[in-house]
Structure 1
Amino acid sequence: MGLNLNINRVIFSTLTKRVKWVDVPLTVSEILQIGGRAGRFGLYNEGYVTCMNKEDHTTLKEIFETNMRPPIGRRATLYPEKSHVHYVCENFPWLKFDDVLRSFVNPKQIDKDMEFSTPEMLEMISIASAIRDIPLSADDKYTFCSAPMRENNLDTLSFIQKWAVLVSQDQFVPLELDESTLAHLDLGKVETFHSIIQSYNYLRWRFPLFVDGHKCEHLLNKCAQIIQDEFDTLTLSNKEEYFRNTNLGTAVSDA
């Protein structure tokens, strides 16, 4: 989720999310939570938030320009640690790993004044379902499920599934991606490409079998540069359109 990362910009590819195979709008709270990660921890002077679809831009701008009152309530979010998941796996060995993760999703009422909830963990559960029948330990499966990935992305899931099989067989895990394909991808596909490499980068620090560290770092930098260049182009286009509309409005008023 990027809670502890230094993030300069957040680009929404959509303002909806997939819930049980249906696209539903993100809530204002979810949009603020995701977009609010831009510029955290002080590494960057400012954080930038934008979106891919022009029709979403007005909605996004209105949300972030609205003065939000701080929420008042007695609700907190808990996230299961590896030890918690391991405990459930040990005591309920007949459960599949994705079912174990689902057991942590429902809200937990402690008393009438305090409620704890857990995140939906959609990404983790998606990975767990993909690797459920691969002979890995619960700890290793938890590590794979913690890899950063885009929700319900079949391309990324297929790579993680392949990597998990190789780890279960104690074989080296190469990064089978070709830099030359980047030149022919649109921004959405580049982001998917970047997500796959990020997942590989995360896992290579946890499994010595991931051997393409230098290639991984090179492709990460390459993807980041392409995304930055595209972002700069989009920003310039928006500025040019703004000034065109402003000049047109002035001309109409003068007339």
Structure 2
Amino acid sequence: MALTLRSFFAIGRRALQHVAVATAALRSIGTPPARLAGSLALNPLHIEKAERAARVRSPQLWYPATRRMKRKVILHLGPTNSGKTHGALERLKQADSGMYCAPLRLLAWEVFDRLNTLGKACDLITGQEIEEKEGSSLLSCTVEMVPTDTRVDVAVIDEMQMIGDSKRGWAWTRAFLGIQADEVHCCGDTTSEMLIRSLCELTGDECIVQEKRERLCPLVVDKRSLKGELSRLEEGDCIVAFSRRQIYDIRQRVEGLAGKKCAVVYGSLPPEARKDQARRFNDRVDGVNILVASDAVGMGLNLQIRRVIFSAVEKYDGEKRRPLSDSEVRQIAGRAGRFGSCFPIGRVSAMSKDALRFIKRALESGPLPPLEQAGFFPLVEQIEAFASALHPSSPSLSELLSLFLAKMEEARTESGSSMGGERRGNVNSFFLCSPEEIIEVSKVVEKYDMPLRHLLTLSLSPVDANDMCSLQMIKACARGLEVGQVDIPHHFTDIPRLPRRDEKRRAAVLSQLESFHKAYDLYLWLAIRFPEAFISVDQATALRDEVVKRINELLTNGVKLKAKKYERRRKKWQPRMRR
């Protein structure tokens, strides 16, 4: 059942109301806890007791079973395409029990398939699926799904430098602090070394740098840029852009050239569709010989790329447009060439002379600055302990989260100031990951009558707060969970149809399909956590598969996105600037 124009705008108004409420809650995070507590009419003694109960100042103590172990932390350090993860996985293959912690579902699937192909029975756990193999003692999972209550011989945590990410860093910190493994192999670039050593001092674990690898195949920067001329593209080239609209604009222009056909990869594309597009590019299916991708190309896919070409050297990061960091440039450029592939020498170029100069400087700028802090976010257990100690004071869920986060930030700030800025093994080794969407979702679900743990789980679910379908789905799931039975909302059972003749509608339908996929993924994520209440898992899986099928069909037939006015104006002068 398609949404009417009136209902669409009604949903938009409600979404804006949620944003306004969430913004007010976020302002409270910067409010001193004492003032915030006063505004909520909470007893200061209750707050002090709650802070002790939740161990706000000692994140490492959130995992008591792990702290009783004496773990050996082994670092595998090196740039992209240095083989660092391969060495750690070789050790995992030899272990009687172990787990691989992947930064993306695609990598979790890849290692799962590889180990089972080798005859090593391995289970799979991601946010949306669980697959068990008989007699397995190995596990491949996404880093957010790491079980911290399972004892294993060997654990491998991939892309360890992500521990410093402002949004997802908490997952790497949780995995590192909580994983119960005799050996913890951390794979990442050299920026993570000093921070991991500092965390090992905090946890009492032994830290060993097993190897610092160099890139296995050379990476060469072209002497000349493409000067804005797409006709200079060659087979195996990958053009990197930094918005979905730019990706499809470049694809349209490239495919206007004789003998050129493109695959596309970007972050909001479903993982299954990304995998299919990678296959078409690697195997040259239907003449596909060029890849157009976002910076999502830098992680999670093994691609046969001859040359990486930067279409721009700045990106919008959700707040402002900014130049690419040296780390981002190296991560993206490093995807060119691959040891043992048909392109053993990687090449890097750009669409303009100035951009090429920027890229060269970033690649030759010397060692990257080390990470100083690990991202973290409270566990459900800590928030529950905090709330329990506040009894009989009973703030709302969003107020509770705001107060808890304010206390965490206060503890971290006090720790830093009391030490004169000197780094030690305490809460000052951490920073609080961005809580914006979590606070926003908590405002949406807190009105429903259910246990605190249920409300927290809903708040921590992967909701895209900027996506209407995601907001609709989380509200529908909260309503259903309140009564103990969650079905697929009726309007999500009618998948948008593919336009057969109207090419202008293809872009709109593609956006709708991507949103529907996010909604089905959210349903399946929650179904893993509430298996008895979510009764339409098979239907959600079938609908998601159908959405992926239609997305792949759209991508194969081509999608045209109309450029915004400012982008059309920019195209008139940008080529002249490049020359």
Is residue 118 of structure 1 aligned with residue 432 of structure 2? yes
Contact in 2 for aligned 1:197/1:219 (Cα 8 Å): yes
Moved more, 197-206 or 142-151: 142-151
Alignment partners' CA distance in 1, 2:245 and 2:397: 30
Amino acid at match of 1:205: I
Q: Show CA shifts across 1:116-155 (max 9, x none).
A: 2111132222211101111111111121122222133343
Deviation at 1:77, TM superposition (A): 1.0
Q: Show CA shifts across 1:199-226 (max 9, x none).
A: 0011112222211111111122222233
Amino acid at match of 1:158: Q
The one of 94, 98, 102 equivalent to 2:394 is 94
Alignment partners' CA distance in 1, 2:481 and 2:304: 38
Contact in 2 for aligned 1:126/1:151 (Cα 8 Å): yes
Deviation at 1:13, TM superposition (A): 4.5
Q: Which residue does the alignment assign to 2:543?
A: 219
Alignment of 1:132-151 (within 5 A): 132-151=446-465
Is residue 58 of structure 1 aligned with residue 359 of structure 2? no
Amino acid at match of 1:98: S
Deviation at 1:170, TM superposition (A): 2.0
Q: Which residue does the alignment assign to 1:178?
A: 493
Deviation at 1:35, TM superposition (A): 4.0
Alignment partners' CA distance in 2, 1:163 and 1:171: 9
The one of 80, 84, 88 equivalent to 2:382 is 84
Change (3 A) 1:236 1:163: closer
Change (3 A) 1:179 1:38: farther
Alignment of 1:178-217 (within 5 A): 178-183=493-498, 185-207=508-530, 208-217=532-541
Amino acid at match of 1:5: R
Alignment partners' CA distance in 2, 1:95 and 1:14: 43
Contact in 2 for aligned 1:187/1:230 (Cα 8 Å): yes
Change (3 A) 1:165 1:77: same
Alignment partners' CA distance in 2, 1:47 and 1:118: 38
Amino acid at match of 1:99: E
Amino acid at match of 1:216: A
Moved more, 77-86 or 117-126: 117-126
Alignment partners' CA distance in 1, 2:518 and 2:304: 21
Alignment partners' CA distance in 2, 1:14 and 1:129: 32
3-state DSSP class of the match of 2:384? helix
Amino acid at match of 1:58: A
Is residue 45 of structure 1 aligned with residue 338 of structure 2? no
Q: Which runs of 5+ in 1 are unaligned?
A: 16-33, 49-55, 238-248, 250-255
Deviation at 1:198, TM superposition (A): 0.6
Q: Cα RMSD over matched residues?
A: 4.0
Q: Which residue does the alignment assign to 1:242?
A: none
Deviation at 1:197, TM superposition (A): 0.7
Alignment partners' CA distance in 2, 1:71 and 1:230: 42
Alignment partners' CA distance in 2, 1:118 and 1:38: 25
Amino acid at match of 1:174: I
Change (3 A) 1:235 1:113: farther
Alignment partners' CA distance in 2, 1:47 and 1:89: 51
Alignment partners' CA distance in 2, 1:13 and 1:80: 33
Identity, % of aligned pairs? Answer: 13
Amino acid at match of 1:183: L
Q: Which residue does the alignment assign to 2:106?
A: 6
Aligned residues between the structures: 210
3-state DSSP class of the match of 2:303? coil
Moved more, 119-128 or 146-155: 146-155
Moved more, 57-66 or 205-214: 57-66
Moved more, 193-202 or 112-121: 112-121
3-state DSSP class of the match of 2:405? coil
Change (3 A) 1:143 1:206: same
Q: Which residue does the alignment assign to 2:476?
A: 162
Contact in 1 for aligned 2:473/2:523 (Cα 8 Å): no
Change (3 A) 1:217 1:75: same
Alignment partners' CA distance in 2, 1:234 and 1:75: 44
Superposition TM-score, scaled by structure 1 size: 0.65
Deviation at 1:236, TM superposition (A): 11
Amino acid at match of 2:385: Y
Larger radius of gyration: 2
Q: Show CA shifts across 1:57-97 (max 9, x none).
A: 52458833543653324222112111111122222342221
3-state DSSP class of the match of 2:374? strand
Alignment partners' CA distance in 2, 1:12 and 1:211: 37
Tell me which of the two structures has the higher relative contact order, counting C-alpha pairs closer than 8 angstroms and 6 or more residues apart.
2
Q: Show CA shifts across 1:152-175 (max 9, x none).
A: 334322321122122112234334
Deviation at 1:37, TM superposition (A): 7.9
